[in-house]
Amino acid sequence: MKKTMASVLVLVCIFGLIACGKHETSRDINPTFSQNTGSLEPCKAEKWNGEFTIELPEGYTINQDEKGDQIYSDGSQTIGGMTIRAIPEGFEITEYFKKDFLIALGIAEATDDSLGYYGEGSTGGMGPWGWSEEYFSDVPDSKDRTVHTSHQFFIMSDQKTVLDFWIDLMLVDHITKDQIFESIEIPEIERYRQEPAPEPAIPQDAPYELLDLPEGYTIDILDERCIIFIRDAQHPVAGMDIIKIPDGAYDPDDPHWIWLENARLSDFRSEAVQYLGGMTDGDHCWVAEFANEEPEGHPWRVHRRHIYRVIGNDLYDMWFDLHWITREEAEELSKVIQFTAE
């Protein structure tokens, strides 16, 4: 069936924040897109009072809550919405992918260490003015997810405001989500569609190089301090984060790398997992594994392997999700990043 597309113009204002909805059920939809009824009335805004267009499936509605945020409904359930958020102070634009920024921005899922997440820059061709985050229950395939939410963020040109469009993927499939997000047009920054951000690249002075990937994998360089390995074009299964070591935290004479735990770096800071133990690998590294606590006889819902390496003032944290890949596959992926300095 051919999908027909039409835009509905909505005017929005900034007042408060809303929490992203989460539901226990899921269903697939194959919607026809058509014009929505009932545009929102303009309202005053202290930080932004602009306009945008968005297309929703036929029969879906847009409502505005008492805070001025939008709620998208399929007639019986809230499937998403739009919240205008004030950009917190103290962050550079290059840090907008980072967890600390997302927590300060007010993204509820970012505070839950039990959730897996995946971010992507420049979504929808918005250049440096847009990025996305997806959060999901970090459980094995044998268990059903209870949380799966996608956010599409747009930064306004005043650098003070972010439009946060979110969709509950427990209720809407990825294809429909993509169609909704790709339909968003914001005149204020429309001109930047012609000026996409350059693809992030490894700095020339980086102490490592990337070798050929195993078959079935792609790589996403989110920024110069974050690399993601993706399997089958959809599952982030491994990656490397470059973490600045706090002053005085590193102890080169600590044979068991206890300083990592004391400094609460990487998974050592998470209350959702426990440290299973670690060992040296003969290459000046520390190999550690983490998992959530489960009753005896129950499989772990979260199980990650890390290879830690210190170069200069940075901790190079290669991580592997052992629910998606085996230790052998993790070992193969670890060889893709070849370090050229110690």
Domains and CATH numbers, the chain: 8-194 (3.40.1000), 208-339 (3.40.1000.10)
Say what the pLDDT of residue 20 is. Answer: 30
pLDDT tens string 239-289:
998 999 999 999 999 999 999 999 988 888 777 788 999 999 877 899 999
Q: 24 burial class (0-12, 13-18, 19+ CB within 10 angstroms)? A: exposed
Q: Point out the residues of the chain with pLDDT beneath 50.
A: 1-48, 122-127
Say what the pLDDT of residue 336 is. Answer: 93
Collapse the DSSP code of 208 into the 3-class scheme (helix H, G, I; strand E, B; otherwise coil) and give the result. strand
Say what the pLDDT of residue 198 is. Answer: 54
Say what the pLDDT of residue 167 is. Answer: 93
Say what the pLDDT of residue 266 is. Answer: 86
Q: How many residues does the chain have?
A: 342
Say what the pLDDT of residue 195 is. Answer: 55
pTM higher than 0.85 for the full model? no
Say what the pLDDT of residue 199 is. Answer: 60
* Amino acid type, 123: T
Q: What is the DSSP letter of 33?
A: B
Helix (H) or strand (E) holding 100: helix 99-105
Candidates 236, 306, 233; CA nearest to 275 is 306
pLDDT tens string 311-328:
999 999 999 999 889 999
For 160, residues 6+ apart whose C-beta sits below 8 A from its C-beta are 47, 48, 86, 87
Say what the pLDDT of residue 328 is. Answer: 94
Say what the pLDDT of residue 270 is. Answer: 75
- The Cα 318–Cα 308 span in angstroms is 6
User: Which tokens belong to 150?
Assistant: 């996608």
310 and 299 Cβ atoms separated by less than 8 Å: no
Mean pLDDT over each residue of the chain, to the nearest integer: 75
